[in-house]
Amino acid sequence: MANTSQIQLSSLDFDSIKQNLITYLQSQSQFQDYNFQGSALNILLDVLSYNTFYNAFYMNMIANEMFLDTAIMRSSVVSQAKALGYTSRSAASARATLNVTITRAVSDSTTSLYLPRFTQFAAQSLNGKSFSFYTTDDSPYVSNVSVGTANTFTFNYLNVNEGTPVTKQFGVNNTTNPSQTFDLVDSNIDLSTLKVTVQNSLTSPVLTIYNLAQDATQVSANSNVYYVEEGSNLNYLIYFGDGVLGRKLPDQSIITVSYLVTNSDLANGLGTFFLQTSILNGSTSNVSTSSASAGGAQQESINSIKFSAPKSFIAQNRIVTKNDYITQINKNYPYFDAVAVWGGENQSPPIFGKVYISAKPKNGYTVTLDQQNYLINDILKPLSVLTVTASYVPADYDFLNFNVGFKYDPTQTNLSQNQLSTLVANSIATFCNTNLNTFNSSFAYSKFLGAIDGTDPSIQSSSATIYLQKQFYPLLGQTSSYNLKFGTPLHQGITNDRLYSSPYFESPDSAGNSQQCYLEETPFGFGAIGSITIESPGYNYTSAPTIQIQGDGLGANAYPIIVNGQINSVVVDVSGNNYTTAAITLIGGGGTGGVLVPVISGSKGTIRSYYFDTNNIKQILNPNVGTIDYLNGIININNLYITNVGGLQEVLSIFAQPYNSNFASNNEIILTYNQNDSTALSITPSMIST
């Protein structure tokens, strides 16, 4: 039986607290009506229990908010992160790169021109919403260029950010605001666009630019720096030095801040821009897009702060390990689905002192040159170790193409063939989204089929042929070289399982007529020594005998490994080529009886181009466009001349089957499946025969 003379204190909910009080009251005899809901004593217990409950909740909440792991309120998380030296990432505005040409009026004689900060450009999204983009810095001056009677000013690679410009002024008053903290009030500020200038007094002509203090160890008493931290309501506060860590602002100074308030990710993906600000009277402008708007992102979420703050603390604002790189990139540029980092020492051949970075954008496949430079020069370089240079390697995509067939039992489903096919397509998309689309991912054939079989109970069996698709942009009108790395061994195709290309490309034949051409493979007739099998290991070998390979080919070399006087294994260090027959003789080694048999196979092949003539007969255009290395999965195209890629497309694709049905990607290669490509998946359903 419960000890009623001691009150239980561990309960946290109202009913338990009240029950504990009632249990305790049972030990006294003066007041007996504690159990009846209408009694005065019971109502007193209600008040007491409610008060206890309220305090318990409040204390529990305070305790939770005191730790980064359990805090729920944003202000608490931000405050905890602040103790780790971490400022939450602000909203990021979408950024585009433009080439702007301004043609001055004939009567105008301006000879040099610049675009000031907050020069406005307009763009419109597909759903009709308008966005304004602004330059965030003054551009350099450019001089006029005469083209006939026209005079133009050209601004190349001009960066513009989406948002609404805001300019505010604050007066410094050390009596009413001794901490010199100023609230920027707006939410959705892109802090990277924040500019702070200080005027010592209203009449002072000098404007001093203040910069964000990045590293307290670099700040002296006279540094013109400001600090920034998140306020309690998604806003940001700026404050200034105290005369020791940064210059203290004199009384009556005027602070001017300007920044962009952004629509963050809503303005991503816009490609057409117009100049809105009038630059020169009577001038006309032409804006072309170098890279479409990208990189817009919401203010950092609570969960992201909880995740990133401890990691940022571990890295101590330095980039040393692989994870430091990934953390810094994700923190400063939250635009990537996946980031891969590897050291040059893992390259083949090793390149020391280099770090390679590759990334996959969230809604696309290409990271623009501007983004790459920003990543390397602005984010990584200031924090990385002096002797280590980072370099960006564009992500290389293996697009997976599937020919899927499945058999289903129509008595077990009321879905039509088309409906089942749609469900299977969805399953494949889900499977690929879960397992692929990132660096160092692997494709497991059995799990892939399992995903198809698991789509619907009526599906009895399935099969799939997988092609890896490599895309490249051929240079037109010149002989060019291309190196395509599949990153996995490739299958040697002989008949209809050959490598192929799509769409057709145009190339002139020997008579100079343009033909619609395609690429295909021709393996080296299985002409290399792929391996050597041991028919008899022999005996009494005291040293390794020399292996002499005799045949109609050239260059093969191998050596045996002897264990306990017998041939234990054979290593083929050079496979040679052009072998159709081969035999092995063992020389020396002291033993007898060893019999080895060479196995001829091919590890390389050539790529050739062909077309169909007017009689629809296949004609080889160029028998050696390039080579294919099946073992390493590399295609080198070095003799390809293309005048046009079919159907006004720019991309040429090469399709090859992987050697193994289970394969993985490494380094910069990403296995991906493009759901938007209708040719990437073909499904053939069939009913089981009853």
Partner 1 sequence: MALDTTKVPSNITRIFTDFDVSFTPHPVTGDINMVTGTNSVVQSLMNLVQLNSYEKPFHPEISSGIRSLLFEQMDSIVAASLKKEIVILIENFEPRVQIIDVDVSPDYVNNQFNVTIEFYVLNNTLPITISAYLQRVR
Beta carbon of residue 55, minimum distance to partner 1 (angstroms, whole number): 14
Cα-based distances in Å from 51 to 47, 57, 507, 591: 6, 10, 87, 95
Residue 40 vs 145, nearer CB to partner 1: 40
Distance of alpha carbon 153 from alpha carbon 104, whole angstroms? 8
DSSP readout, 5-69?
TS------SHHHHHHHHHHHHTT-SS--GGGSTTSHHHHHHHHHHHHHHHHHHHHHHHHHHTSTT
Q: Which of 36, 57, 157, 274 binds partner 1 (CB under 8 A)?
A: 36
Beta carbon of residue 361, minimum distance to partner 1 (angstroms, whole number): 52
# chain residues binding partner 1, by CB under 8 A: 17
Residue 39 vs 301, nearer CB to partner 1: 39
What 8-state DSSP symbol labels residue 380? I
What 8-state DSSP symbol labels residue 319? B
Beta carbon of residue 57, minimum distance to partner 1 (angstroms, whole number): 12
Q: 67 Cβ partners below 8 Å, 6+ apart?
A: 80
Residue span binding partner 1 (CB under 8 A) among the ranges 32-40, 227-235, 380-388, 517-525? 32-40
Residue 38 vs 178, nearer CB to partner 1: 38
Residue 28 vs 214, nearer CB to partner 1: 28
The reply to whether 31 sits near partner 1 by the rule CB under 8 A is yes
Residue span binding partner 1 (CB under 8 A) among the ranges 24-32, 176-184, 522-530, 626-634? 24-32
Do 529 and 575 form a contact (C-beta atoms < 8 A)? Answer: yes
Beta carbon of residue 45, minimum distance to partner 1 (angstroms, whole number): 10
Residue 49 vs 76, nearer CB to partner 1: 49
Residue 53 vs 524, nearer CB to partner 1: 53
Distance of alpha carbon 610 from alpha carbon 365, whole angstroms? 30
Residue 14 vs 313, nearer CB to partner 1: 14
Q: Which of 1, 9, 10, 30 binds partner 1 (CB under 8 A)?
A: 30
Beta carbon of residue 16, minimum distance to partner 1 (angstroms, whole number): 11
Q: Which of 6, 27, 32, 546 binds partner 1 (CB under 8 A)?
A: 32
**What is the phi/psi pair of residue 74, to 5°?**
-60, -40
Minimal CA–CA distance to 583: which of 572, 568, 595? 595
Q: 203 Cβ partners below 8 Å, 6+ apart?
A: none
Beta carbon of residue 160, minimum distance to partner 1 (angstroms, whole number): 57
Distance of alpha carbon 235 from alpha carbon 24, whole angstroms? 51
For β-strands 663-664 and 442-443, DSSP reports them as antiparallel
* Tokens of residue 425, six digits: 């397509």
Query: Measured at the alpha carbon of residue 573, what is the angle toward residues 567 and 576, in degrees to the nearest 5?
Result: 115
Cα-based distances in Å from 284 to 65, 191, 289, 365: 58, 33, 17, 35
Residue 42 vs 110, nearer CB to partner 1: 42
Residue span binding partner 1 (CB under 8 A) among the ranges 27-35, 223-231, 571-579, 601-609? 27-35
Q: Which of 7, 12, 33, 377 binds partner 1 (CB under 8 A)?
A: 33
**Contacts of partner 1 in 316-335 (CB under 8 A):** none
Sheet (strand 189-199) strand order: 164-171, 254-261, 189-199, 207-212, 225-230, 236-240, 181-183
Beta carbon of residue 26, minimum distance to partner 1 (angstroms, whole number): 11
Q: Is the peptide bond before 382 cis (omega within 30 degrees of 0)?
A: no
Beta carbon of residue 1, minimum distance to partner 1 (angstroms, whole number): 16
Q: Which of 4, 14, 464, 675 binds partner 1 (CB under 8 A)?
A: 14
Beta carbon of residue 41, minimum distance to partner 1 (angstroms, whole number): 5
**Contacts of partner 1 in 37-76 (CB under 8 A):** 37-41, 43, 46, 49-50, 53
* Tokens of residue 441, six digits: 């991912």
Q: Which of 12, 15, 363, 555 binds partner 1 (CB under 8 A)?
A: 15
Distance of alpha carbon 147 from alpha carbon 153, whole angstroms? 11
Distance of alpha carbon 262 from alpha carbon 298, whole angstroms? 9
Beta carbon of residue 37, minimum distance to partner 1 (angstroms, whole number): 4
What x-and-dash track marks residues 228-267 binding partner 1 by CB under 8 A? ----------------------------------------
- Express the helix, strand and coil content of the chain in percent, nearest 5 each: 20, 40, 40
**Contacts of partner 1 in 515-554 (CB under 8 A):** none
For β-strands 396-408 and 669-672, DSSP reports them as parallel
Residue 32 vs 321, nearer CB to partner 1: 32
Do 681 and 428 form a contact (C-beta atoms < 8 A)? Answer: yes
Beta carbon of residue 21, minimum distance to partner 1 (angstroms, whole number): 13
Beta carbon of residue 212, minimum distance to partner 1 (angstroms, whole number): 51
Residue 30 vs 615, nearer CB to partner 1: 30
Q: Tell me which residues touch partner 1 (CB under 8 A).
A: 14-15, 30-33, 36-41, 43, 46, 49-50, 53
